[in-house]
Structure 1
Amino acid sequence: MAKTKVLIADDHAVLREGMSRLLSQEKDIEVVGEAGDGQEAVDMVGQFKPDVVLMDIVMPRLTGVEATKLIKKNNPSTCILILTAYSDIRYILGLLEAGASGYLLKSAKSDEIVGAIRAIKAGESVLDSIATRKLLERVVNVSKETDEDKVRGQLSPREIEILQLASKGLSNREIADKLELSMRTVKAHLSNIFNKMRCSCRTEAIVKGFREGYVMLEDVPQGIDGYDRNTL
């Protein structure tokens, strides 16, 4: 089985070295390079073609947002996982809009980071529980859509149930186990939810579901334990 190639981009050498040692212990992950700033990350992605870039936000020359935009423009198949100490909503929105597939805080545990890399490589998206909650808090005062009843009618009871479980941080596997469904069925339901709600990812669906009343703010975890397995 081919290994997942990872590039680490962070301006702190100690963090890069520690993360490199951590990931090198995994049999299915290969660290192909370390970048000390945003521009170097962009250049190294072009050189090594990694599957995943583990990216910090605040770096010299190019920020994580700027580097993400350039990487996704020039190498769209490369996935970006943000690993940062910042949970500011502006950073979260900016990076998701730039094309990042995931956003974790540096308080995340090592196994959570490894799990997030594997999830993103598999085509899933990952968002820290704090980031998810901040997104929902941002829309607390946003008025409900005028066609709320129409959207409600489009979602089946099973789809609503799956969306609610997703908002609680359950992974596809956990949702499948809880509802006694196959992984393929869960993914099919999520795809249907995205199509009906005109969303491109789980996070967007949760935010819109919050506006529509499917998801309650109290359902979203408030912990700071990092990777919340909000994946598709």
Structure 2
Amino acid sequence: MSFKVVVADDHNIFRQGLVRIIESSPDFEIVAEASDGGEAIRLILELRPDIAVLDISMPEKNGLEVSREIMKRGHETSLVILTMYKDEDFLQEAMDLGVKGYVLKSNTAEELLTAMKYASKGESYISPLLSDVLVKRREKIKQVKNDNPSIKTLTPTEKTILHNISQNKTSKQIGEEMFISVRTVQKHRANICSKLNLSGWNALLSFAIKNRSGLD
């Protein structure tokens, strides 16, 4: 059985190259191609592929925005991001979203197929060339946790809410994602502010964004 794949990249020549690489493996079958983020979302929702390979930079919606939308809909499509950038923030956001693969465009065709095979099993794969970025990320997380011991006083639910706040989500959006009422979210927000000695929404949002790495 082959895994169904949607490929999304706004550069036609590069996208056709991806298609040839993926079709060279008997494990995968291309079911659709997209040239922008909006089209990618529509095709993924309509076709429900096993895997979607997404360029991080596309018109309408970038690869991370597409990933966020697909995750929000609860689809089981495994997502693999292709990028030209060794950027810590992009990698952080991809991992936060639950993206299964994160591969540099400069990598070999074999590595893309490896990432897709991991994704097909529900496992994660990050390009070895990003190992230095991962090391920096772990060091930052460790430093954040050391600098903010008060984070340890938060419950798992409070940490999840604080992480969602760091993505600038409203109480309504958080409630819908966590299946709790807006009033319950607001109560948790008040408890978080009390534990962290924060006053007001702006202070809470600023803290959440600054310390997002320590909330994993």
1:87-117 residue CA offsets vs partner (Å, 9 max, x unmatched): 1111111122122111010111111111111
CA distance in 2, matches of 1:70, 1:53: 13
Question: What corresponds to 1:135 in structure 2?
Answer: 134
CA distance in 2, matches of 1:114, 1:134: 22
Greater percentage in helix: 2
Structure 1 residues 123 and 139, CA gap change in structure 2 (3 angstroms): closer
CA distance in 1, matches of 2:50, 2:16: 19
Question: What corresponds to 1:155 in structure 2?
Answer: none
Structure 1 residues 26 and 104, CA gap change in structure 2 (3 angstroms): same
Question: What corresponds to 2:16 in structure 1?
Answer: 17
Question: What corresponds to 1:48 in structure 2?
Answer: 47
CA distance in 2, matches of 1:91, 1:113: 18
The 8 Å contact of residues 6 and 32 in structure 1, kept in 2 or not, is answered as: yes
TM-score for both structures, normalised by structure 2: 0.63
The percent identity for this pair of structures is 32
Partner AA of 1:87 in structure 2: K
Question: What corresponds to 1:57 in structure 2?
Answer: 56
Partner AA of 1:96 in structure 2: M
- What is the CA-CA distance between 1:127 and the residue it aligns to? 0.7
The 8 Å contact of residues 103 and 131 in structure 1, kept in 2 or not, is answered as: no
The 8 Å contact of residues 48 and 75 in structure 2, kept in 1 or not, is answered as: no
RMSD after superposition: 2.1
Question: What corresponds to 1:76 in structure 2?
Answer: 75
The 8 Å contact of residues 115 and 126 in structure 2, kept in 1 or not, is answered as: no
CA distance in 2, matches of 1:24, 1:63: 24
Question: What corresponds to 1:35 in structure 2?
Answer: 34
- What is the CA-CA distance between 1:144 and the residue it aligns to? 8.6
Q: List gaps (5 residues or longer) in structure 2.
A: 147-212
1:191-215 residue CA offsets vs partner (Å, 9 max, x unmatched): xxxxxxxxxxxxxxxx99xxxxxxx
- What is the CA-CA distance between 1:16 and the residue it aligns to? 0.9
Q: Relative contact order: is structure 1 or structure 2 higher (C-alpha 8 Å, sep ≥ 6)?
A: 1
The alignment of Structure 1 onto Structure 2 pairs a total of residues equal to 147
Structure of larger gyration radius: 2
What SS does structure 2 have at the residue aligned with 1:93? helix
Partner AA of 1:129 in structure 2: P
CA distance in 1, matches of 2:82, 2:121: 18
Structure 1 residues 88 and 143, CA gap change in structure 2 (3 angstroms): closer
Question: What corresponds to 1:86 in structure 2?
Answer: 85
Partner AA of 1:115 in structure 2: T
- What is the CA-CA distance between 1:130 and the residue it aligns to? 3.2
TM-score for both structures, normalised by structure 1: 0.59
What SS does structure 2 have at the residue aligned with 1:96? helix
Question: What corresponds to 2:6 in structure 1?
Answer: 7
Question: What corresponds to 2:107 in structure 1?
Answer: 108
The 8 Å contact of residues 56 and 62 in structure 2, kept in 1 or not, is answered as: yes
